[in-house]
Structure 1
Amino acid sequence: MTPRRELIALVGADLLSNLGSRISILAIPWLVLETTGSPAKMGVVAAAETLPYLLSSALGPPLADRIGLRRTSILADLGSAGLMVAVALTPWLGFGALVALVALVGTLRGVGDRVKHVMFRPAAQAAGVRLIRLTSVYDGMSRLTTLLAASIGGLLIWWLGVTSAILVDASTFAVCALLISTLVRRTTGGAAGSRPESYLRALAGGLRYLGQDRTVLTMLLVISALNMVVNASIAVYIPLWVNDVLGNPAGLGLVLGAFAAGALLGNLLFTTFGSRLRRDLTFAIGAAVSGPPRLLVLALSDDLTVVFAVTFVSGVGIAVVNPLLGVALYERPPADLQSRVIGLAGALAFAGLPLGALLGGWSVTTLGLEPALVTAAVFVLAVTAVPLAAALRPMPKQAPLVDVSDRERVPS
């Protein structure tokens, strides 16, 4: 197996796992809605997965360095496959069992996702692939995966039922583990050949670096706030809007698919023109476009065509946010800090997810759907206005976005 083929297998396995995970993001809240009819419980279940996810994202990579990144990835995927089969049985096991199982899935998914992303950099370098190209292509493929999953997930729930949709997610984890175990053979990442640091020292090194890199830290805080309302939307707002307005779970795929389609187009545009754009301004505008409009249109319109169009435009905006963060995370940290910095960055970026799910259910229960959507839109607008105002201040001319994959670190 050549290095390039191993890189393709690694990225493909990660995308396949994401495909199944995005199907379950639709299926599990719908399962709760069918079995309990409670928006608040929808939020509880979403939070039960995302809180362990972000904790294991931060705390798992130093342990994965000791176990081995490849081995950790395989074990996490096999465990996730078994747990998702159990989740499919929870209508007979009860709501408490569902919460516990989803929390375990989140724990395994967090460390599994992070170690795959850490493996990307050394795999790309072994294959002679530039990091900027890998980041752009991966983001585009991830958007395409989201587009397919949103459409397929809603249709699977409609055609086969929510249980079958969850079992599809379980099968994707199993196939992902098979791909990594059979096609990715080279040791990537870790601390092979050197004396391992203590766990706390390794974790502290990642925290120290992240605290000093204000560029990455600011990007992560904005994305964390965006993720908070995005998770509230996916777990509560959009399913309730679809149920109230359309009465058909296939509408979940249409609304989420519109966002993914816009993001895919935005990714193509960014890949073509991104080198000519100023990073800070591009990031700030993209964040502002991606959040408030898609929330406000759900509050103000019952027309699926209008919701589809505005959501599509918001997707175009988000397409510049993740690639810019991804490039920064692969370019800036030294190689020996890569796993723990990416793990901590992932945890910080996703820190808003459990809170968003809980606040989504609480806000609808307390305020109603439309006021909750407007409140969330105002919050996101305030958060994204801060970096946008900073980016619009006069500043010295910056160098364009360039590939620095052969440097270990770019100064702040």
Structure 2
Amino acid sequence: MTTRKQMLVNGFWSAALAVLMCLLASPAQAQSSLAVDIQGPGQAKMNLVMARPFAGGGQLTPADKLQDLINKDLQFLPFLQLVPPSNVPGQVGGATVDQIDFKPFSLAKVDVLVTANWTPGGNLGNVELRAFEVYSQKVLVGKGYDSVTDAQLPDIADKFCMELMQALTGQGGFFNSQIAFVKPSSGKGTDIWTVRPTGRGLTRVTSYNELGMAVSPSWSFDGRRIVFTLIGSRAHYLGVWSGGGKPQVYTLPSTNVVSPHFLPDGQVAVSLTMQGKADIYLLGAGFQPGRPLTSGGGIKVSPSFDASGHTMAYVSDQTGSPNIYVTSVGGGGGRRVTTSGYNTNPSVSPDGKLVAFTKQLGSAQKVFVLDLGTGQETQVTSGGGSDENPSFSPDGYFIAFSSTRSGGKKIFVTTRHGATPVMIPTGDGSASMPSWGPLPQ
């Protein structure tokens, strides 16, 4: 497949005249560019219409398949409201700016119009995808693909939606990031898998099967390694997968090896029981215990770090029930940041401003987000089932979590603002303990 990134804009003078008339007729429509602030307190939805594909030479079947794949991808972007084309009077006469009458879309309050144009070529043919900003008639995204095959359609959908998100928000890494998680294997074992948020690229990382339970995966900040706990029949071990082949397993001087987590500099912190209680230790050479990162009474588990490596959140029961604490990695006592209840599973946002965590509400657990600056807690999941193990995406906007809302445990994606969760396809069986990796380098 040959990819050719292009503007794909025709009819410059007609577009300019239309924009000028629009500006004169309605100052409210004088938008220079659409933009979504995903880091702000919330977003208004943009209305998006996908026009019926234009297909010549018999490509209607792959055209419909690609449109369905794009629609499914766009469901992960809560700031976009998909509007049926039937809601807009009139029909799109073509896929380029000079073939489209934008006025009906403007009257229907549509913000973004997506078109697809298929032409004869090798394999399934060639396709051009465009996303227009309706008010300015500007091309937000223009992509062309030649000699498309059926196997390439999912990647084409992902790449187009990634560029559209990038154009609207300045962030597009959602579509090519990866999530590590836990799936059951044969016997009573569990193994680590990875998947892209859209459900593509499902890959098994470990193969312990009935020999042990691989749990609590955590990505390194460079995306090259995953650290995890391996629960064997007689002991806990530390597992480290380095991007291929068999993971390395390390024996530590502890009865428990709980919730290991990478720091940005590549070191690993893990909760170990070494002096009669569980504390969080920084591992040194050979992944052996070095200095403790926590002090004081109580059990301490589940370290999580911001992208600077300065802030660590963790769980401690030193005041009774488990609560979330924050401390400096350089040293000092922990500061309790949750005020009441049973709180676990912290995940620090990359910028260090937020902590996502699990709070017990009655017989179920729900995901909350805590603003470390204001101390305000916001519940971001609700409904049936229990939600746990939240993990921030690298852009700090999305949150992956495991949930029983659909029956068995599956992984869902919401946002820091509590958007409607969307399930990530992970194949048969349950899926739990998600850990969102960094963007590919």
Q: Select the structure that is richer in strand.
A: 2
TM-score normalised by L of structure 2:
0.20
Q: Select the structure that is richer in helix.
A: 1
Bigger radius of gyration, 1 or 2?
2
